[in-house]
Amino acid sequence: MSIALRSQKGRALFGLWVAEMVVLFFAVCAAAWIRFVGDSESYRLFAETAPVRTFLVAIAITLSMAAFGLYQVNVRRNRMETFLRLLLSFAFGGVALLVLFYLVPQTYIGRGVLLIALILSLVGVIVVRVLSEHVFSADLFKQRVLVLGAGANADLLHQRMRRRADRQSFVLVGFVPLPGQTVIVPEAVVVRPGLALVDYALSMQIDEIVVAPDERRGGLPMSDMLACVQRGITMTDLSTFFEREAGMVKLDVVDPSWLVFSGGFDQSAMRRLSKRFFDLVAAVALLLVAWPFMLLVALAVWLESGAPIFYTQTRVGQGGRTFDVIKFRSMRVDAEGDGKARWATKNDDRTTRVGRFIRLTRLDELPQLFNVLRGDMSFVGPRPERPQFVNQLNQEIRYYDIRHSVKPGLTGWAQLRYPYGASVRDAEEKLKFDLFYVKNQGLLFDVMIMLQTVEVVLFGRGAR
């Protein structure tokens, strides 16, 4: 996810991860010293392979933390919730390490060392989190941003990114009106410099100017903007700023030329091969873990409402090609007896009792792993929609068809950032995040989405 790593917020999260890796590394070393105090021979044997085994512990715990949403961008949680997630992630990581020790005995560090290390590292991570919250919340460490424009487009930024959680990486100094363009943003955030733009920007220590005019033709002070660039001030258009800071492609302001020239949309042979390899490995690994649960779900569906256990439905995939998606049946057999396609709704009365549970836990989607193995779907990508809805959405939402330039996925960026969609408006909101994924897809981004999907499943967000 290169664009996220280029942002101030992404760099801050990367720095937090590195700091916590260091804490975990030294916590294991300290735990071994405490455990083997007075037993120099045992400590010497541990120290011979300590770096590799300690690194594995640090990786396992930080991956578990990522799975519980502790490295998410644009999410602000209260301290009690954060502490609960930390406890759960350390418990889950500890169990995962015990499994690893059983499978690969050479990585074993001892139960005593592991227990002490988990306690020490939990305390250390809490200290790092508290310190980082105070450090990175200070305006001194944030980008100072000035918006060039005060009309409708600028107001989109003001309204969409007004929360403190949305501005964790930057301070919005104000909005500079452009001559001949209507001022829509509140007067309280409007600034009228009274001097050259570059002089004002330098006096206010501006790091970045976001260009957000309502009309570009003849409405931009290009000489002033060029002067700012020459003094080291970054110029960013509104679409790019939204993409970087909000993790979405804002449909209200984006135009075809920006989509063409802003980069991304990697469809190289290397990307296709790496994604396919990733899909196969992930699908096989999950099947090996999930098959007992799949048998239990199949039995529960059959006991409640008989056959069929599985439900197939035509969906639209890459390039607009259709395929049959496989799911455990969660609705009555006659849910669409009249043949008319309907959006699933909250508390849908067509859903069975077992169906409500497997939808909430996402167990109904496990058979789609066979779609992944077959190549119809990917593990990560936009969720596939039914042809009837796609035809409607293509007519009502511009750029909707772009999401079909990649394979649909079991999980995706939109599923993490937006609840279940059941209307045209929901589809439009989700498209902002689907386009961000299509444009910025990569192996690292896929791994990040998979880890954060664990949090969605465990806490039941977005299911219907």
The model's pLDDT over 39-91, given as tens digits with 9 standing for 90+, comes to 777 777 777 777 888 999 999 999 999 888 788 755 555 677 788 788 889 99
Rounded to two decimals, the pTM is: 0.75
User: Does CATH number 3.40.50.1980 belong to domain 142-247?
Assistant: yes
Q: Cα(460)–Cα(464) distance, rounded to whole angstroms?
A: 9
Q: What SS3 state is found at 232?
A: coil
Confidence of residue 337 (pLDDT cuts 50, 70, 90): low
Q: What local confidence, expressed as pLDDT, does residue 6 receive?
A: 47
Residue 5 and residue 2: Cα distance in Å, rounded?
5
Closest by Cα among 292, 286, 297, 294 to 450 = 286
Residue 338: pLDDT band by 50, 70, 90 thresholds?
A: low
Residue 73 is which amino acid?
V
Counting Cα atoms < 13 Å in the Cβ hemisphere of 411 gives 24
Residue 145's alpha-carbon distances to 209, 211, 344, 418, in angstroms, are 6, 11, 42, 27
What is the mean pLDDT of the segment spanning 273-294?
93
- Tell me, what's the pLDDT at 421? 65
Give the pLDDT band (50/70/90) at residue 7.
Answer: low
The average pLDDT across 177-184 equals 92
The confidence score (pLDDT) of residue 177 equals 95
Q: What is the pLDDT of residue 80?
A: 74
**Tokens encoding 341:** 């396609």
Candidate from 101-110, 290-299, 334-343 with smallest mean pLDDT: 334-343
Query: Domain-by-domain residue ranges, the chain?
Result: 2-136, 142-247, 269-332+345-459
